Amino acid sequence: MNTKPIRSPSYPSMSLEDAIEAAGKIEAQYRGSPVDREDAAKLLGYSGLSGPANKALAALASFGLVERAGKGMMRVTSRARSILHPDSSADRARELREAALEPKLFREIKDRFEDIQVPPMDGVLTYLNREGFNPSAVSPAAKAFVTTMQFIQSLGESESHVSDDNDDLESDSPDEKTRFGGASVGDLIQWESQGALQFKTPRRVRWVSEDGDWLAVEDSDTGIPMSQVTVEQAAPQKAPAIPPQMPHADAPHQERGFSEWFRAKVAPTRL
């Protein structure tokens, strides 16, 4: 009796969007430097290198977001850093699409449904079952794939929206074309990240870095990229910068400079 052997596919235990968020937690602390796998697992919320923690780190590796950096060590890849700190939205979208199909299983499923951007869940489940995949792996693998494809589809919708906005701006005056940046201490600003507004109401700027790339608002130590803010209301007059209130024990080394330390200490997070 001929029976098809059970396949035990290697697949990410999370979607690409979740993997990017996880990689960001590691990158915020270590940038591109090597990090012990156990320390990386703790940054993701695990107590140590447990089974689930190893699966999570393996998922990041399967998307090409982390790589080996010696025995028991790993580092965030240039791909991940290009996604987290892109030169442009087009560059970020390209890197994300490549990462989405980095897992071999995901490429295999995509080839099966090559004419469908986001294959239906039932179709993916049926395909994996017919291919003889381990039943315990079918559902989580299908979910991770479909969720990732939905995320990639949303990138196309965002790009279309940006293109429409740019078309509208062409008819505006030169001054109206500049939407992001240019905030000063005392201005009321709105923060937009990945197409979503981060504040319910505009917040007032209390600090701007010397290089002008980062700022912070009142009642928050979160570093916000200048390129992601719009000035809703300019300050009536320039107010003196209020230095961030940080614990003395965590004070930055003089040689590093505050701006570099601030970015490493409080990477941008959604408020």
User: Over the stretch 28-72, which tens digit does the pLDDT of each residue have?
Assistant: 999 999 999 999 999 999 999 999 999 999 999 999 999 999 999
- Residue 211 pLDDT level (bands cut at 50, 70, 90): confident
Tell me the pTM: 0.57
**Given a cut of 90, is residue 149 above it in pLDDT?**
yes
- Please tell me the predicted confidence (pLDDT) of residue 197: 80
Which neighbouring-strand residues pair with 193? 196
**Given a cut of 50, is residue 177 above it in pLDDT?**
no
Burial class of residue 190, CB neighbours in 10 A (0-12, 13-18, 19+): middle
Nearest of 138, 113, 112, 97 to residue 11 by alpha carbon: 138
Nearest of 139, 151, 80, 148 to residue 110 by alpha carbon: 148
- Please tell me the predicted confidence (pLDDT) of residue 228: 87
- Please tell me the predicted confidence (pLDDT) of residue 242: 59
Question: 214-217 and 66-68: which strand pairing?
Answer: unpaired
Where in the chain are the domains? 16-164, 188-265
